[in-house]
Each structure stands twice: as structure tokens, then as C-alpha cells.
Amino acid sequence: MINRAGLGIVCALGAASLYGMVPNFARAAYVNGVPAIESTLFRTFIVSIAFAIIAVVCNERLTVPKAAVPSFTGQAVATFLVSSAYLASIQFIPVGLTVIIFFLFPVLIMLLAPVVEGRNPGLSRVAVALVAFCGLAVAIGPSFEDLDIRGILLAAVAAAGATLQFFSGRSISRYMPPAAFGSLVHMMILPPILVIALFAGSGSLLILPGGSATGLGLLFMTGVAAVYVVAYMVHMLSLRFAAASTVAPFFNLEPVVTTAIAATVLGERLELNQYAGGGLVLAALLASAFLGKRRT
């Protein structure tokens, strides 16, 4: 197992910055006629092809070693949950709120990592997790009247998937390079995403010729795919170089990038309680980073 924490942190910051652009590209594509699930479908197809080409050029084998099957399966399930649920949630709730809910995952990682490593979490980590949940409760508010429960649940599922993605990504990196397993993972999840897209579109896709997606929407959809290709590769490299609990806190940069772009480009504004709840969540994330650093 490779342990180069500094390089892993640099990759984590780079991946977080790139991932922060994706929801806004997807939102812009959706506004211009491209459903989020079709952006996901196109992105998954492009990623599987791009990574396969990289793997072939680098003379990497596109096969899964027997010892890597459990972690590969976990990575496929996790990537499917994040891919299908995260971007789909933006159709029902604002990008900023989606990010607040989704970014519970670094707290979950910090809470679960000691258990995975065979150590007790400790009361301080439990307290941090509770603060994060309180932040989510404040952000969502006492009433669901103005929010779509579908978006909230989709974002929560994506957060669980992201947690699994980090742990399985670190594990599978013992056996396979990122391009090889990245290509195979996205090939595996492509059929179910296609089924979901066809179901959502009543048997047709708007991004195909003759569909109602505009040229601008298709352009933003292509932007989603291009940015994600680089982001996923750098993300998996960060886990190749360092443990999930080491790099996860540095992905806190992602919601900062996402919300900044949403506010300046898309003109989205959150309510006061959502800012307050988001502040509690981010405070919990920073506390997680501090606890992890102190323990190290």
C-alpha cells in the first residue's frame, strides 16, 4: 500500500475543486433541456471510454483480480449511487442545499475510519457527527412544505455512496491502477443508468438527435463529462497515495467551490436557516479534520 500523504492531500484538493464545478454544469444543462440522469448517462459513457484508452496506452490490464472483487463491487455500487443520486437531487432542491446534505460524507468517513481500522471512534468523533446531523436538521427546517423530500433523500443516498466510494477506492488501489478500475466500474454501472434514463424519459432520450435538448444544454452536458473524467482520476489517485480518513477532510473545499459558483453564476441564494445549518455542518467537518490531524 502506497503512503504519500502530502501527494494524496494535493490530489484531494484538486479533485475537490473540479468536483465543485460538476453540479453547476449539470444544473445549467438541466435548465437548457438536459435531464440530470441523461447528463449522468453521457458522463458515465465518456468516462468508461476515456479511462479504457488511458489504461490501454499505459499497458494496464482491464481485468479484476480475484482478491479485488469485493472492493471492486463496493466501488461500483458506490459510484452508481453517487452518479445517479447526487446530480438527480438538483432537479428537486437547490444546488447549495444538495451540497450541504451530500457533504455529510466526510464526517461519516472520519467516524467510520477508526472502526474500519479496528479502533474505537471515541466520544469526540461521535459528538462531531451529531453536530453535523444537527446542522442538517437546521438546514432542512422543521417543515418539508417548501422542500422536495425526493431531493433530500437522493442527496442522503449519495452521501452514503460517497462514504463507501472512499473506503472501497482505497482498498481496490492495492490491486489495480485508477484508470483500469475506473473504466470497468463505469462500464458496469452504465446499463442500469441507461435503464433509469429510458424509464425517466418514457423510452426515449432527449439528448439524441430529434430530442428537445438545446445545443447549449448539450454543451454543458459535455462539460460535466470532461470535468468529471479528470476529477475522478485525481480523486482515486488521492486514495492511492493516502488513507480515506487522511484525504476526506480536504474535500471540504468542494462545497465552497460549488456554492460560490451557484451564487455567482446561477444566482442561487439559500435561506438563513440553510446558511446556519450549513455553517454547523462545515464546522463539524473542520473539527473532523482537526481530530484526524491530532490523532495522527
* pLDDT reported for residue 294: 60
| Greatest CA separation for the chain | 58
Residue 142 has pLDDT above 60, yes or no: no
Name the band, by pLDDT with cuts 50, 70 and 90, for residue 187: very high
- Alpha-carbon distance of 286 to 151, in angstroms, equals 26
Q: What secondary structure letter does DSSP report for 204?
A: -
Name the band, by pLDDT with cuts 50, 70 and 90, for residue 145: low
The three cell numbers locating residue 282: 462545515
* pLDDT reported for residue 289: 64
Residue 157 has pLDDT above 90, yes or no: yes
- Alpha-carbon distance of 206 to 35, in angstroms, equals 8
Closest CA to 83 of 227, 193, 166, 239: 193
Residue 120 has pLDDT above 70, yes or no: no
- Alpha-carbon distance of 93 to 203, in angstroms, equals 25
- Alpha-carbon distance of 284 to 282, in angstroms, equals 5
Residue 284 has pLDDT above 90, yes or no: no
Residues ≥6 apart with Cβ < 8 Å to 101: 89, 136, 139, 140, 152, 155, 156, 159
- Weakest-pLDDT range from 5-9, 78-82, 275-279: 275-279
